[in-house]
Amino acid sequence: MGRIFTRNRLIGLAFAAMIAVIDQIVKWYVIGPLQLRQVLNIELLPFFDLTYVENRGMSLGMFQATSMEARWILVLLTAAIAAIVFVWMMREKLMGDILSLAMILGGAIGNIRDRYDLGYVIDYADFHIGSFRPFLVFNVADAAITIGVVIILARSLFMREKEDDEPDAETASDSVPSEN
């Protein structure tokens, strides 16, 4: 059994921590100095606003925590998912896989901290084209989780394609003509 904390995995853990810290700093900034909780909306660009949202649900606002029990169930559920991602990351060797899992882990930690401390996740990033909003209001943690998942899916698709294109050892030995 190899070492658990290899250089790549330590970099992944540091990257996850960095994402969680950046997420919390940005949330502090929009709530504190920008006072987004009080003003509710700040127009920055024609296609981007800061809009204060208390997200009491999980992905895409599903599984709303409308009671204290539901809040703690969501904290435990998201912590369990984060633990699974952590174990998965500790089993990976390739930096691309580790960093994409680190993005998911760091984002999960940032959102878990909100839910634990506040009972909801603070969302603020609001992309739009006029009144059309292709995304829900989100935060740095949500973006990191989404990008990490997309990278994992893309890598698994392309890595599988690459592996399928390469003949395995048994198939290669079957196609070599025998000298008998």
Residues marked active site are found at 123, 142
**pLDDT tens-digit readout, 30-88:** 999 999 999 999 998 999 999 999 998 776 556 667 788 888 988 999 999 999 999 99
Tokens 């992309």, residue? 127
Beta bridge partners of 53: 123
Number of residues in the chain: 180
pTM of the model: 0.82
Candidates 16, 23, 25; CA nearest to 139 is 23
**pLDDT tens-digit readout, 119-148:** 999 999 999 988 888 888 999 999 999 999
